[in-house]
Chain A
């Protein structure tokens, strides 16, 4: 019994220390931001009912800058040229209706710079994305069109590439801002990999344009799930200014489901051992429970009649 009391004292002081340096200290260091469940409550609900056919006609104007591969519209420029013109490569719009929040998308089409919360970066220069809808009706029509062309199923990887991948590379998944790293091989004679060098040159140019546009290179997201808490990531994506005032990161406007897809991908790449931990953990702990039980029997047999 005395040993249990001693154990209680040790456990108590250990837990107080843990509480102090982990949950408590982190609650002091990181400001608390309320999570709003990707509801975008600052944006008024759009009541107009959209017509996909009318939206399709309006979307022809989008194709001047964007590709819509789902509707067989190719990109007007390659990513590097596009980044020279716009700062970053405009996204392919096939997944817009699937990954983005409907209300957000409608407001973004009407007033991009304010909806994306990047007005502070564009005080004396125009935002590359112009307003594409003059009223709620045309915005709703476009949204209806994008929803009509969006695929039923979006993979986590596709959601990531659409929502984050043109600014954030993910080198552990071989993803760059201009697409996947090509599988190349160096020349066996010269030991030089010309294809790779060409690709790297393009990537360097793209990054250069992006840094001029955004002020700094956005971070690689390979292991962002280990570097930032889950809570930080969702509140930051929902409203970047709330966590990092002045950041160039726009409010992307992902829906709740869209974010879940993106996060799933971040976790798959950034924490690939999670399923393995869950599979191996119980066996290792089970082994030590058995070990301890046998050790207890040994201990009892050795200490029998000693006291």
Chain B
């Protein structure tokens, strides 16, 4: 039985502590949550992602007040009501659209940081896996949100992507119709994607963010050298006042102070994009209302899906789908395909260094080829890049198995 001090005034420190253990919570989650000192600004990407998700959530709530999920009214509710009639509606929409695009850039930077520093190994596997689940739910969130303005690209991207579920020659038309709720994208389709976008997926994302933070708490954050730190011993040093000698810093306020600074720089760039350079996040094609009688000359997904789209595109129907499926799941397997015990920056890991940079460049090539029309030289480059992507992952267990242990590491 817990002890409750009968003399504590309601909401006083003592009173709260008895009921909520606020001191313990603060210690465990903030002032004695130890972060290695040896990090760079890339370690602030998590905080930037959390903040961007906050921006998306708040701007989304404002947009939700005026958006109408009806195929007849959706387009005008966005482009006329929100953009023209509601005070600052344009600002919320541009913030939402730009954040939705930028959040993927930060996700990719965050992912490649993890890959580069080997932050998915030695107790950190669940961090990687929960992060990948977040990537998948964010992708679904982005796709469902893209349907809502009911423009030409909403309609036709919805058509193309739901068609994938016919699974090529298996020809599961029934499954496609079940997903759409109709033979073609229509009211039923818009209604369910609206629900997914504003309720189910945000809930899933919030749950997964908590899980992602949770998976981080015990193994702690990695550091620039992949050094295995005895966090308890280092924390003792810090508490003894050896701030310089200790290899760790408390999350709050020391780590936070740098995070907030990086966040400030990020928001300067973000709002520059929101006010002066938002076109990249709002495709012109989607400013034409959905027209089932007119297919746009070029159908392409948003930039962050292009690399996997390009893995689908150069192959015939069935192998293309298999390759696409491969691309969707393969990142999940990274902690298990990397057979090397080394936790170190890629540039100290021999062949893995080459693997990392080739993967990065290859995915950028795939991204660009995914947008240009599939013709002539672009098809050739796209096909080669898709094969390189597949072969890189096939090669990964072998090259990491051959990797020599780095001195000082088990």
Complex formed: what's the CA distance from A106 to B263 in Å?
62
- What string of 1s and 0s marks CB contacts (under 8 Å) between A21-65 and chain B? 110110011000000000000000000000000000000000000
Residue B325 lies at the interface, judged by CB distance under 8 Å to chain A: no
> Chain B nearest CB: distance from A260 CB in Å?
21
Stretch of A74-82, A126-134, A145-153, A275-283 at the chain-chain interface: A275-283
Residue B399 lies at the interface, judged by CB distance under 8 Å to chain A: no
B window 11-51: CB within 8 A of A: 37, 40-42
A window 1-33: CB within 8 A of B: 2-3, 6-7, 10, 13-14, 16-18, 20-22, 24-25, 28-29
B371 touches A21 (CB 8 A): yes
A3 touches B40 (CB 8 A): yes
Closest to A289 in B: B268
- What string of 1s and 0s marks CB contacts (under 8 Å) between B253-285 and chain A? 110011011011101100110111000101011
CB-CB < 8 A to B275: which residues of A? Answer: 277-278, 280-281, 284-285
CB-CB < 8 A to A295: which residues of B? Answer: 257, 260-261, 263-264
Residue A222 lies at the interface, judged by CB distance under 8 Å to chain B: yes
A222 touches B80 (CB 8 A): yes
CB-CB < 8 A to B364: which residues of A? Answer: 13, 16-17, 20
Residue A303 lies at the interface, judged by CB distance under 8 Å to chain B: yes
> Chain B nearest CB: distance from A306 CB in Å?
6
A7-B84 CB under 8 A given contacts A29-B372, A291-B267, A307-B244: no
CB-CB < 8 A to A229: which residues of B? Answer: 284
The B interface, classified by DSSP as helix, strand, loop or mixed, is helix
State which of A6, A220, A222 has its C-beta within 8 Å of the C-beta of B41: A6
Residue B287 lies at the interface, judged by CB distance under 8 Å to chain A: yes
Complex formed: what's the CA distance from A82 to B359 in Å?
65
B254 touches A306 (CB 8 A): yes
Residue B306 lies at the interface, judged by CB distance under 8 Å to chain A: yes
Complex formed: what's the CA distance from A280 to B288 in Å?
28
Residue A223 lies at the interface, judged by CB distance under 8 Å to chain B: yes
Residue A296 lies at the interface, judged by CB distance under 8 Å to chain B: yes
State which of A17, A278, A291 has its C-beta within 8 Å of the C-beta of B367: A17
CB-CB < 8 A to B287: which residues of A? Answer: 223-224, 226-227
A305 touches B268 (CB 8 A): no
Complex formed: what's the CA distance from A21 to B90 in Å?
25
B264 touches A21 (CB 8 A): no
State which of A20, A226, A228, A306 has its C-beta within 8 Å of the C-beta of B249: A306
Residue B214 lies at the interface, judged by CB distance under 8 Å to chain A: no
State which of A10, A171, A219 has its C-beta within 8 Å of the C-beta of B288: A219
State which of A29, A220, A289, A296 has its C-beta within 8 Å of the C-beta of B261: A296
CB-CB < 8 A to B243: which residues of A? Answer: 305-306
Complex formed: what's the CA distance from A280 to B275 in Å?
8
Residue B166 lies at the interface, judged by CB distance under 8 Å to chain A: no
B257 touches A302 (CB 8 A): yes
State which of A10, A22, A172 has its C-beta within 8 Å of the C-beta of B84: A172
Residue B64 lies at the interface, judged by CB distance under 8 Å to chain A: no
Closest to B371 in A: A25
Closest to B275 in A: A281
Residue B402 lies at the interface, judged by CB distance under 8 Å to chain A: no
> Chain A nearest CB: distance from B181 CB in Å?
28
State which of B257, B265, B280 has its C-beta within 8 Å of the C-beta of A22: B280
CB-CB < 8 A to B285: which residues of A? Answer: 227
Residue A298 lies at the interface, judged by CB distance under 8 Å to chain B: yes
> Chain B nearest CB: distance from A273 CB in Å?
4
Residue A122 lies at the interface, judged by CB distance under 8 Å to chain B: no
> Chain A nearest CB: distance from B322 CB in Å?
26
A298 touches B284 (CB 8 A): no
A298 touches B257 (CB 8 A): yes
CB-CB < 8 A to A22: which residues of B? Answer: 280
Residue B392 lies at the interface, judged by CB distance under 8 Å to chain A: no
Complex formed: what's the CA distance from A229 to B272 in Å?
21
CB-CB < 8 A to B284: which residues of A? Answer: 226-229
CB-CB < 8 A to B405: which residues of A? Answer: none
- What string of 1s and 0s marks CB contacts (under 8 Å) between A95-118 and chain B? 000000000000000000000000
> Chain A nearest CB: distance from B363 CB in Å?
9
Complex formed: what's the CA distance from A10 to B282 in Å?
23
- What string of 1s and 0s marks CB contacts (under 8 Å) between A261-285 and chain B? 0000000000011001110110011
Complex formed: what's the CA distance from A238 to B260 in Å?
51
Residue A288 lies at the interface, judged by CB distance under 8 Å to chain B: yes
CB-CB < 8 A to A172: which residues of B? Answer: 76, 79-80, 84
Residue B91 lies at the interface, judged by CB distance under 8 Å to chain A: yes
B90 touches A273 (CB 8 A): yes
B83 touches A305 (CB 8 A): no
Where the two chains meet, the residues of B that have a C-beta atom closer than 8 Å to any C-beta of A are 37, 40-42, 76, 79-80, 83-84, 90-91, 94, 105, 109, 243-244, 249, 253-254, 257-258, 260-261, 263-265, 267-268, 271-272, 274-276, 280, 282, 284-285, 287-289, 297-298, 303, 306, 360, 364, 367-368, 371-373, 378
The 3 closest A-B pairs by CB, nearest first: A292-B264, A20-B368, A281-B275
- 12 new A-B pairs (CB below 8 Å) besides A222-B79, A292-B268? A6-B40, A17-B367, A21-B371, A24-B372, A29-B298, A272-B84, A277-B94, A291-B267, A295-B257, A298-B261, A302-B253, A303-B258
